[in-house]
């Protein structure tokens, strides 16, 4: 007979748990036959003693199967089902363009996205800034939109990996979130429950990332690729920079506008473009939709230049309840902040460094983010026209714009934004945006301790 406390004891003592022990414990998390205290103790034991590869795979698979697992076979889709996941950051709107771009190249993207928490923005919040857009359609609608449009970006349903929801909530209040085996299982259990044939991971590294150091980001990337491929889903991980905002805006409706401008070709921030193309390319390469990097780049550029990606985006928005003319007139169906204040620096110089987490918290304090998962957000507020590291800033000239509910909060945000930026006399060197990618073949040769 298995007992939760004996499984905890084994992991506490540094032993390797069997598949059966992990299955029993995950079933207990889902059914509430394991107490919050026992879940917390198990998480702490893993935090200190880790998990080997077989344990990580077992934890991921049993959490994935704790609820329903989507299956797309009955739709007879003429292309692969593929998705991407980012570990989060500031101004990370890649998903908004990536889904339609990959769909225009023959992929099918059922993207289950999340809300923002802390200093990181959430894809779901960005779509909820569009009047009428449904982020929680019924399962039949989701399947219909994926089949007809090729992409549907929605929120997590309650029956996808329910074990993770309870487990994460307990980890969040017991200082056990930052455990690589537990992060791996949490991310992958939800993504793999979406019935994917391939997954492209974006692991952020830098002062605005969950993994602040490159070493930690690399360890997570190696763990995710090793576990996911072992679990039967072709997965790559790309490590990208989060030492400054990824795009030119931060805030839900503002990022949605930037995404529309990107898709229509009005403006493409170079950093944002590099990361978006890198991840989209991985999705095409993982699924065989492109044979090599050059072919992937050409296909994606054609999807943008021809308007095919923008058309997919417009169709998805309309199919999920949003306006039919969103691409042409995005601001007609999104909220606008009543106060828009230019931010001026008292000094001239080159932007040397950004405290990216602090930048994200400016948006949170304006009301555009949350510290409580259940709290509402103000979709209109945020920052736009953000400078990039290396940009020349002149005293007295606007360096960014604050979008706020009132003058007082706009002025406070302006001061906080300036405090997050460091200027200097010398222009800094070229900033790395994409550090490296681990593909499935490389993952096979990795050793995960």
The catalytic residues are 83-86, 123, 171, 186, 190-191
Helices (H), 150-213: 162-172, 180-192
Report the 3 state secondary structure along 378-431.
CCCCEEECCCCCCCEECCCCEEEEEEECCHHHHHHHHHHHHHCEEEECCCCCCC
Nearest to 224 by CA among 264, 265, 180: 180
SS3 227: helix
Q: Which residue has the tokens 């225009």?
A: 104
Strands 421-424 and 392-393: unpaired
Phi-psi region of 91 (alpha: psi -120 to 50; beta: other; left: phi over 0): left
Distance CA 396, CA 411 (A): 15
- List beta partners, residue 238: 202, 437
Instruction: Confirm if 351 and 418 have CB atoms less than 8 A apart.
Output: no
Determine whether 352 is exposed, middle or buried from the number of CB atoms within 10 Å of its CB (0-12, 13-18, 19+).
middle
Q: Which residue has the tokens 């604050």?
A: 402
Distance CA 317, CA 152 (A): 9
Determine whether 18 is exposed, middle or buried from the number of CB atoms within 10 Å of its CB (0-12, 13-18, 19+).
middle
Which residues, other chains included, contact 162 with Cβ-Cβ below 8 Å and sequence gap of 6+? 30, 66, 67
């Amino acid at each position: 007979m298995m007992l939760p406390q004996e499984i905890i004891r084994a992991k506490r003592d540094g032993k390797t748990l069997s598949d059966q022990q992990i299955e029993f414990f995950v079933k207990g998390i889902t059914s509430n036959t394991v107490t919050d205290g026992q879940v917390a103790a198990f998480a702490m034991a893993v935090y200190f003693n880790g998990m080997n590869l077989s344990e990580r795979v077992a934890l991921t698979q049993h959490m994935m199967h704790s609820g329903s697992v989507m299956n797309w076979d009955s739709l007879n889709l003429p292309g692969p089902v593929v998705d991407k996941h980012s570990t989060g950051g500031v101004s990370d709107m890649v998903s908004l363009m990536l889904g339609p771009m990959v769909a225009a190249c023959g992929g099918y993207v059922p993207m289950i996205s999340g809300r923002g928490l802390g200093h990181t923005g959430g894809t779901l919040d960005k779509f909820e800034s569009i009047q009428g857009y449904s982020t929680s359609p019924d399962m039949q609608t989701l399947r219909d939109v994926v089949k007809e449009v090729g992409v549907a970006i929605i929120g997590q349903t309650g029956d996808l990996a329910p074990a993770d929801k309870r487990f994460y909530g307990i980890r969040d209040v017991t200082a056990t979130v930052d455990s690589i085996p537990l992060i791996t299982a949490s991310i992958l259990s939800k993504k793999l429950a979406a019935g994917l044939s391939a997954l492209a991971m974006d692991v952020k590294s830098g002062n605005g990332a969950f993994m602040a150091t490159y070493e930690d980001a690399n360890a997570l990337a190696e763990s995710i690729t090793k576990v996911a491929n072992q679990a039967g889903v072709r997965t790559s991980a790309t490590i990208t920079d989060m030492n400054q905002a990824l795009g030119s805006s931060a805030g839900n409706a503002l990022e949605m506008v930037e995404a529309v401008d990107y898709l229509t070709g009005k403006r493409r921030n170079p950093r944002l473009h590099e990361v978006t193309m890198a991840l989209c390319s991985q999705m095409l390469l993982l699924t065989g939709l492109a044979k090599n990097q050059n072919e992937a780049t050409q296909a994606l550029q054609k999807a943008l230049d021809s308007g095919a990606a923008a058309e997919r985006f417009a169709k998805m928005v309309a199919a999920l309840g949003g306006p039919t003319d969103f691409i042409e007139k995005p601001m007609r169906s999104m909220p606008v902040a009543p106060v828009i204040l230019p931010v001026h620096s008292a000094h001239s110089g080159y932007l040397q460094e950004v405290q990216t987490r602090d930048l994200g918290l400016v948006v949170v304090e304006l009301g555009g983010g949350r510290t409580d998962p259940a709290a509402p957000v103000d979709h209109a507020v945020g920052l736009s026209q953000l400078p990039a590291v290396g940009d020349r800033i002149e005293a007295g000239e606007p360096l960014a714009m604050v979008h706020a509910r009132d003058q007082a909060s706009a002025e406070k945000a302006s001061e906080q934004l300036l405090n997050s930026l460091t200027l200097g006399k010398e222009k800094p060197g070229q900033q790395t945006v994409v550090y490296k990618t681990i593909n499935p073949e490389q993952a096979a040769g990795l050793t995960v301790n």
